[in-house]
Amino acid sequence: MYSYALLESGCYYLIQEKEEMPIQLIQVTLETDHCVFVTMYGDDEAQIWRKKTDPILDIIELLSDEAVKEWQNLYNKDAYNYEEEDDD
């Protein structure tokens, strides 16, 4: 079992918090002495505080800068296309 204390600020990770939960893409955006502020990407973007001691079942991967850029291009493209569909 891992914890949020292992994650570095500014980095993107693929994690699984609990066994029954799906894989999530997260970014640690801020770190304090005892907590981290995490942005979780999925159907909706969510920002949440986690204790550094909160468990993570698996840290699957630290995304490379190249993978983050590719994902951002896809994520932003999908958001743009979604906004266009709303205007109809």
pLDDT tens, position by position, 27-43:
999 999 999 999 999 87
Give the max Cα distance, the chain. 48
- Greater confidence (74 vs 20) lies with 20
Helices and strands per DSSP (H, E), number in the chain: 1, 7
Residue count (the chain)? 88
Over residues 58-88, the pLDDT tens digits come to 999 999 999 999 988 887 765 555 555 555 5
How many angstroms separate the first and last alpha carbons of the chain?
A: 47
The two structure tokens encoding residue 31: 């770190």
Phi and psi at residue 17, to the nearest 5°: -70, -45
